[in-house]
Amino acid sequence: MNTRFLDVLNGRPVDRTPIWVMRQAGRYLPEYRAVRAKHSFLDMVYTPEVAVEVTLQPIDIFGFDAAIIFSDILVIPEAMGMHVQFLEGRGPVFDAPIRDFRAIDRLGSISATDKLDPIYEAVRLARTELEGKVPLIGFAGAPWTLAAYMIEGSGSKTFQHARAALYTHPDAMHALLDRLTREIIIYLKNKIAAGAQAIQIFDSWAGQLTPQQFRTFSLPYLKKISEAISATGTPVILFARNAAHSLDELSQAGAAALGIDWQTEMAPCCDLIKNRVAVQGNLDPLALFATPGEIRAQVGQVLENVGSSQRHIFNLGHGILPQTPVASVRALVDAVHELSPLYHREKTGVTL
């Protein structure tokens, strides 16, 4: 039973830094690509046996310290009645993005449909198959990130429609964000009931907001979700990408940990949040294109930037890229296993 990941979230000492990797069940793995060749992306998400198979692959292959259920953040808008397709090379595309805000009133609740049942079933099944080996993470997109996709209709360099709406229709935007917040809380509580032992919230487009907008249109909703989920006893990791301007506020939003992106400097972050919460991150995903020796040096740098007084979960600062060599992931895990115990000796009572 490897509890390191939950131990760090709960503020207990560990013998070494736990590690998992965002998108660890993903295209860089030949075993994943073999499954993907037989199913569409959404089929994988909505077929519990398949979702569980790819969820467990990186645990078996690399011995990561946590599993994260294979899924997608856009299942919530889908379950609310919006249709989304995943197009090769373009990512998610909505058939009918929200451009008239009256459309918000026509969105259904995820409670009124059984569309998400296969996801809860996948969580249940993954938890059983893990047999307590490592904890299982559930996740959701943040309200702003979901709203950005629902209005824009796809990924975007500028999220022009969604961002313009913050200026032109602030009340409608708050209504949408509030609505999404409530649905996300229901969704996450269902995932927890099915067996998820920690929750990560992805605010992938937090950095598309001005700092002022982030504090108005994202942070209050992140706080509401974190507090509602933490109250159930399940720890929450908030990953608001490129929102370093608000780390202090984020560290007081009810989460157990903050995800730190690779564009943010770890040392000043740690100084700022003063071990109030754990940090998770933040190796540059591109560092995995370097030699094993250089990867080891970069891992050492992240550990050194965090230091020994800050609670830390090792991760990349963004999702692992599909082209990443598998050998690099092994070098990464080895380096964390070998280099991180040094940073935990004092806390676990071993003298240097």
**Overall residue count recorded for the chain in this entry:** 352
Cβ 304 vs Cβ 282: under 8 Å: no
Residue 29 CB, nearest approach to a second copy (Å) = 18
Determine contact, residues 197/221, Cβ cutoff 8 Å: no
Shortest spacing between CB 96 and a second copy, in angstroms: 20
What Cα–Cα distance (Å) separates residue 220 from each residue in 108, 191, 275?
23, 22, 22
Q: Which is nearer to a second copy, 48 or 259 (CB)?
A: 259
What SS3 class is residue 95?
A: coil
CB of 154 to a second copy, least distance (A): 13
Which tokens hold the place of 153? 């209709």
Pick 46 or 159: Cβ nearer a second copy = 159
Helix ranges (DSSP H) in 251-325: 266-273, 292-306
Least distance in angstroms from the C-beta of 249 to a second copy = 13
| Residue 31 or 284 with smaller CB distance to a second copy | 284
Residue 259 phi/psi, 5° resolution?
Answer: -75, 135
Q: How far is the CB of 188 from a second copy (least distance, A)?
A: 28
Side-chain-side CA neighbours of 335 within 13 Å: the count stands at 25
Dist CA 27 CA 172 (whole Å): 38
Looking at beta carbons only, is 185 or 297 nearer to a second copy? 297
What angle is formed at CA 40 by the lines to CA 38 and CA 45, rounded to 5 degrees?
Answer: 110
**Where are the alpha helices (H) located in the chain, listed in sequence order?**
4-9, 30-36, 41-46, 48-62, 75-79, 117-130, 143-152, 160-168, 170-194, 211-213, 219-230, 247-250, 266-273, 292-306, 326-339
Q: Which residues contact 157 (CB under 8 A, 6 or more apart)?
A: none
Catalytic positions, written as ranges: 23, 27, 36, 72, 149
Question: Which spans of this chain sit near a second copy (rule: CB under 8 A)?
Answer: 155, 157-158, 160, 163-164, 166-168, 207, 209-211, 242, 245, 262-265, 284, 286-287, 289-291, 294, 321, 323
Q: Quote the least distance from Cβ 202 to a second copy, whole Å.
A: 16
Phi and psi, residue 92, nearest 5°:
-70, 140
**Residue number, 29 or 184, with CB nearest to a second copy:** 29
- Considering beta carbons, is residue 197 or 305 the nearer one to a second copy? 305
End-to-end CA distance of the chain: 26
